[in-house]
Amino acid sequence: MATASVAVAQPAPSAPPKLTGVRVPIEAAADALGMVRGIGGRTGNKAIVAMRFTANGSMTDAAGKAWQVKSVIGDVAHYVPASRLDWQLVGPGGATERRIEVVNGKVAWNETTPGVGAEPAPADARRQAIWLAPHAVIWAAIDAADKVTMAKEGAKTVLTIPSPADGLPIRATLNEKNLPEKVEATVGGRPVEALYSDYRDPETYRVAFPYHIVHRSGGQTVLDLTVTDAHTNPYVVFPVPASLKQAAK
């Protein structure tokens, strides 16, 4: 005996609530950077959990010494939060130096090679610097949306966000495409202005990353990098060395 099948109508998925107030530019920036993924978008606006970039250029370090940056590989993991900067530097007279600077949460250290030769280092400036990065600052805005304020400067939107590192204000200026073009924060007790331009999508994955990065402090340029490559969500780990684990508690 044949059994008749009955089609049961499925309710259409409900649209997400309409965004209002400061959540509108935060969502627009997340979308422009490629942090929004999948149907409903907003539930996936942390799809970019880490970025890696390779660059060259010039730098003036905290001691005031000028260096040519032969190369730097930078890993920033917003979800930890943590970062590792592997610098290949050339100083006056051609002297070379490798610096590997790592921070994971409240613990920072230097390495001789990645994961090897850990020596403790001050953490505050490195923790604060994480949130200068364009994807990181919007990640912070998403987390603290109820505490974020916005203002208009001409056609541009300025978001003021409490830093996850210390609660101090971070100002992120979005350009006409909703991409962070300037991020201002306190790093190591000094005001730092990070400028981002020449955004590209190197992996054709609709993730925008700036190919020109400039840091200014006290009216002087302290970092000027030309990015040569960038990768979305690389596999990166920042295990706290056993000798430093007590400091992490």
Q: Report residue 189's pLDDT band, with 50, 70 and 90 as the boundaries.
A: very high
Res 40: pLDDT: 46
Neighbours of 154 (CB within 10 A): 6
Residue spans of alpha helices (H) in the chain: 23-33, 124-130, 134-143, 245-248
Can you read off the two tokens belonging to residue 29? Answer: 């920036």
Residue spans of the domains in the chain: they are 23-36+48-230
Tell whether domain 23-36+48-230 is in CATH 2.50.20. yes
Reduced to 3 states, what is the DSSP secondary structure of residue 148? coil
pTM value? Answer: 0.89
Q: pLDDT tens across 97-129, in order?
A: 999 999 999 999 999 998 888 999 999 999 999
Q: 87 has which bridge partners?
A: 72, 99
Residues, the chain: 249
One-character DSSP codes across 8-77: -PPPPPPPPPPP-TTHHHHHHHHHHHT---STTSGGGTT---EEEEEEEEEEE-TTS-EEEEEEEEEEEE
Q: pLDDT tens across 131-163, in order?
A: 999 999 999 999 999 999 999 999 899 999 999
